[in-house]
A = this chain, B = another copy of it.
């Protein structure tokens, strides 16, 4: 569904978003440990999220990464878009080049519903929606 890089990105963002108030900046090591990801690769992904203004970073002692803006206004779709590009639009069953609504491939009408389902979910699920579930103990992030 998503690349590993994208999964790490989602994991990392959820972890940072679920940090307690007053301590909302996390270092690379903490993040990689928390989400069980390779540290150096995670660094690359976080850098990329910083470039896309989804995270901000501070160097030096007590530095680290923090969510850029309000987690309730950051949607999963933005993370996926940032790392994997718009697979919501491009990811399809047959991958024909010259297809369209009025010249669809035979599985288009079947897959369209699923893609819209997925897109709708990603576009409406915010980081705070998910982070809250971790903080209230409904869901878990640890491996």
- Residues of A in contact with B (beta carbons under 8 Å apart): 1-2, 4, 7, 10-11, 14, 36, 76, 87, 91-99, 103-111, 113-114, 117-118, 121, 125, 130-131, 133-134, 138-143
Contact = CB atoms under 8 A, between A and B. Distances in A.
Contacts of A118: 114
In the assembly, how many copies of this chain are there? 2
Given A1-B93, A91-B1, A121-B114, A108 B139 contact: yes
A129 to B, nearest CB: 8
Contacts of A117: 113-114, 117
A125 B107 contact: yes
B1 A104 contact: no
A94 B140 contact: no
Given A106-B134, A114-B118, A117-B117, A94 B7 contact: yes
B10 A93 contact: yes
A75 to B, nearest CB: 12
A136 to B, nearest CB: 10
Contact of A105 (B98, B121, B125, B140): B140
Given A94-B7, A117-B114, A139 B105 contact: yes
8 contacts: A76-B107, A98-B143, A106-B130, A106-B140, A107-B139, A110-B125, A113-B117, A117-B117
